[in-house]
Structure 1
Amino acid sequence: MLKRVFTAPDPGRVRLRFATRAVLGIGLAVAVCGLAGHSLAGVVTGGLAALLALFTVTDPTVRGQALTTALLPVVGLPVLTAAVWLHDRPAVRDLAVLAVVGLGVYARRWGPRGHSLGVFAFMTCFAAQFLRATADQLPELYASVLLSVLAAAVVRFGLWCYETRLPPAVVPAAPGGTGLARVTTRQAVQATAGAGFALVVGQLVSGERWYWAVGATWWVFVNTASRGETLVRSFRRVLGTVLGIGLGLLVAIPAQGDGVATALVVLVSVFGIFYTAAVSYTWMMLWVTLLAAALYGLLGVLDAGLLALRAVETGVGALGAGLAVALVLPVTTHDVTGARIQQALRCVHACTAQAAARLAGTEGADPAPKVAELEQLLAGVRLSVAPLVHPLNPVLGRKRRARAVLALLDDCAREIRGLALVAADPEASRDDRLAAACRRVERAVEALTGGGGDIAVHVPPAATEPALAHLHGLERALAELAAPLRAPSGSPSAGT
């Protein structure tokens, strides 16, 4: 796991830039709040708002990102107000929390913007519980949120805007269907049920820190679409939390009371969250837990007992999520994975077509955006297949097929990346063999996505031209995909 985090591909150093920019943006937000004379609660609220503005906004265009960022306070501040005013009305507060959970998940039907606004709304509600904010603090907290979102926007869209157009973010669920046939609707019901369990049991465990359990349930549902994905994410959340608590005992508790040391822990934790989020949820949770420990250290309440309580409440939240996806309107991994694999295969064809057009000299043809989109789609496939390749999965046949599918899709992606690089070379040219190979790739994709027809295995002579070599490698990978995708027991995700 450690090796995977530090050796995972980082094309264009995107993860490194993402994490570095986050540290700068959050640091600027905290500094602005401090210069404005805000209290510790205001500074923490501002830092959280900046973190969310930089982390959750994933619209495919910069203009879309800017609009979503501007809308964050519009959604978050009313929720913050309600959460603060309902502190003294536990029954109404609990119902409001569950409503925020359900509506926040339901908002994913509107794509990345709905997802971002739903997360921000829930986290402002969470922050009110975390800080035990009072009504007289609301003006300061409003100012902190507004200043911090603005500071994050200045860094993201002004000082360090490295995005021009991004591929679509990994969408946790397709928005098709109506009513309970729509996956986002089913997830909203599941999340509300799981949060209800976490809220009740969490309050039995601790009347003060119950929101940790609800928060764990909420975040387990983020970026998942099926029962298997949610169960694996629950396990990884608990594991990351336990590892983070161990690190907190070694680092955060000794740093408590030392402002410089605590600030360093916070900065390292923020960097770790952003750098590892795309490759390891376990490691991201380790850094989140260490960040939470450092913040409690700033508030002067950190001790080993508090960290132990966080582990218990996290377990309660993960259990709530697991029970909800298993018992309430379950969505199987089969349906989600099948759809994502088909999307990835169609994107393989689109990448090939763009590369061939570029080699033919077609003006405006560019495979690069499609290659980036393919990487996002493959990330979604890996997310779906994770339950099947997990070490604890006892069904060895499905595990082997899932691994074979992942390996062959990775082969396709490697050949596509190579083909795109060749196409970018102005000296590269094409011939009739390249056109024929592209047609064979198209037929292979149609056979795999249409569910019928055989894929002819073409055995070409050794290709000396790089473009042909990549296309021939792509043909072989697509032909080999037919066996695991058409296995008698179904797709590699069948039955999960």
Structure 2
Amino acid sequence: MFTAPDPERLRLRQASRAVIGVGLAVLAVAATGLDVRAAITGGLAALLALFTVTDADVRGQAGTTALLPLVGLPVLASAAVLHDAPPLRDAAFLGIVFAGVYARRYGPRGNALGIFAFMTFFVAQFLRPAPQDLPPLAGAVLLALAVAALVRFGLWPIERRTPPPAAPPPGDERGLRRPTTRQAVQATVACGLALLAGQALSHERWYWAVGAAWWIFVNTASRGETLVRGFRRVLGTVVGIAAGLLVALPVDGHPAATAGIVAVCVFGIFYTAAVSYSWMMFFVTVMVGLLYGLLGVLDAGLLALRVAETLIGALGAAAAVVFVLPVTTHATTNAWIRRALVALQRGTEDAARRLAGDAAADPARRVAELELLLGRARLALAPLVHPLNPYRERKARARLVLGLLDECAARAHALAGIAADPEASHDARLTEGCQRVEEAVRRLLRQQAPGAAEDRRADAECAHRQPEGDRAVAHLHALEAALAGLAGPLHSAPRGPLRTA
């Protein structure tokens, strides 16, 4: 967690800003004289606003932040009104689950609004507001969001220096063939199973099972990703409960101590979210235990129930992704890799144009896009290399693909750097090498591997032409070799033997 790369200290700065934003939001709500429940509601609203809004530019972030109360307040009102009508409450909750996941097709804004809507209903189950409690709680939400926006856009703006988040794999599917629709159905089924089993275990804390199932589906796109995320959620929760026994129980709602440890948890949530879901859940679990202490209902039995409800949610998610409209890991990884290959092809084209003297060509922009897409491909491949994956051949093949993709990224980055050098001059060998790389990408996208004779001829030509000290040509040949190596694992059946030329 602490050794993971943090370019430009972005995670550190965002985590520090979150502590300030959430802290100021809670202080602002408390200063109005509202009670502890309103302060908790405001603090969670500020945390969600700072955590879920991930638009690529500041204008988009401001627009999404402004829309949060338009989604959250009606959901909060419906939760309060339906609290004493369990059948209608449960139906509304599942409807919000479906709509929240379905909204992800609209990009970062849809994802943020969907999460905010779900969590607003969830927090209402946690705090159990009555209709007469709505005005102070709504005021707390509005005030907290305003303070969070002030910190984010005024006191401590952090410009994004990375490309915008990658969109879902492209496609013209409709209905249940569309990935977001399939996942919305899966999440609704998973949350429905978790709701039924959670209520059988506890009529008061059943919503933890639904929350566990919901969050397992966030930022996942395949069966493998969801199963691995479920395992990590249970692991993080169990370890967090153990820490809660040592931290939250002794604190027992003491305001100053609770505030200090909650601040550490908020920092941990933001600092670890991008690198470790288990660690993020650890900090979330400890924070929730502390909030229960503030409400005066914390005990060891409640923490044990939290583990059981989380396990129920994870099992519901696992059942849904395996049996309901499953999206295979193979299909998802192939979609991301194909997008990355297209970016690589375009980056090579731009590098060739830049080396030929076209100042408008920008291979660096294509390399940034490639890195983003390869990052998403690595995430999709992660379940295949997980220690719990029992299929050794698939694990070895995934590791081979990851290594070759890393090689492609490194060579493309180096080539872009050389092309940006004003001293670099046009060389016919570079044009020819770029053309060979482009053809290698086209073969991969056509699911066509080069024949053995062509491979031997290419190897002989590379050996003959390889100039000593010519870095650009060397990178192109290494890139071509990595692409040739990808043909076998990418063109093989998911569980069949590895194809070779």
Q: Please, which moves more after superposition, 338-347 or 467-476?
A: 467-476
Partner of 2:39: 43
- Which letter maps to 1:230? T
Partner of 1:475: 480
TM superposition score normalised by structure 2: 0.91
Q: What whole-Å deviation, never above 9, does each CA across 1:146-171 have from its counterpart, x for those lacking one?
A: 22222222222233333257523244
CA RMSD of aligned residues (A): 2.4
The 3 A distance-change label for structure 1 pair 390 and 305 is: same
1:220 to partner: Cα distance? 0.8
- Which letter maps to 1:202? G
Distance across 2 between alignment mates of 1:319 and 1:204: 15
The 3 A distance-change label for structure 1 pair 73 and 356 is: farther
Q: 1:34 aligns with which of 22, 30, 35?
A: 30
Distance across 1 between alignment mates of 2:357 and 2:14: 35
- Which letter maps to 2:46? A
Distance across 2 between alignment mates of 1:69 and 1:58: 10
Distance across 2 between alignment mates of 1:17 and 1:359: 38
Q: What whole-Å deviation, never above 9, does each CA across 1:87-134 have from its counterpart, x for those lacking one?
A: 111111011111111111111122221111111100000010111122
Aligned with 1:6: secondary structure?
coil
Q: 2:187 aligns with which of 191, 196, 205?
A: 191
Asked if the contact 2:253–2:291 (Cα under 8 Å) also holds between the matched residues in 1, the reply is: no
5+ residue gaps, structure 1, are: none
Q: Does 1:112 align with 2:112?
A: no
Percent identity between the two aligned chains: 61
1:20 to partner: Cα distance? 2.2
Asked if the contact 1:241–1:285 (Cα under 8 Å) also holds between the matched residues in 2, the reply is: yes
The 3 A distance-change label for structure 1 pair 248 and 112 is: same
Partner of 1:161: 157
Q: What whole-Å deviation, never above 9, does each CA across 1:245-297 have from its counterpart, x for those lacking one?
A: 11222222223333332222212211111121112111111111112112122
Partner of 2:8: 12
Asked if the contact 1:49–1:149 (Cα under 8 Å) also holds between the matched residues in 2, the reply is: yes
1:424 to partner: Cα distance? 4.8
Q: Does 1:339 align with 2:335?
A: yes
- Which letter maps to 1:182? R
- Which letter maps to 1:306? L
Q: Does 1:219 align with 2:215?
A: yes
1:71 to partner: Cα distance? 0.8
Aligned pairs (5 A) from 1:7-406: 7-163=3-159, 166-171=162-167, 174=170, 176-360=172-356, 362-406=358-402
Asked if the contact 2:407–2:482 (Cα under 8 Å) also holds between the matched residues in 1, the reply is: yes
Q: Does 1:434 align with 2:430?
A: yes
Asked if the contact 2:169–2:339 (Cα under 8 Å) also holds between the matched residues in 1, the reply is: no
Asked if the contact 2:82–2:89 (Cα under 8 Å) also holds between the matched residues in 1, the reply is: yes
The 3 A distance-change label for structure 1 pair 259 and 358 is: farther
1:175 to partner: Cα distance? 6.0
5+ residue gaps, structure 2, are: none
1:466 to partner: Cα distance? 4.4
1:308 to partner: Cα distance? 0.8
1:217 to partner: Cα distance? 0.7
Asked if the contact 1:220–1:237 (Cα under 8 Å) also holds between the matched residues in 2, the reply is: yes
Q: What whole-Å deviation, never above 9, does each CA across 1:412-449 have from its counterpart, x for those lacking one?
A: 22233334444555555553333333222222211112
Distance across 1 between alignment mates of 2:72 and 2:169: 24
The 3 A distance-change label for structure 1 pair 370 and 24 is: farther
Distance across 2 between alignment mates of 1:451 and 1:232: 29
Distance across 1 between alignment mates of 2:208 and 2:141: 22
Q: Please, which moves more after superposition, 461-470 or 56-65?
A: 461-470
- Which letter maps to 2:444? L
TM superposition score normalised by structure 1: 0.92
The 3 A distance-change label for structure 1 pair 369 and 298 is: farther
Distance across 1 between alignment mates of 2:396 and 2:279: 26
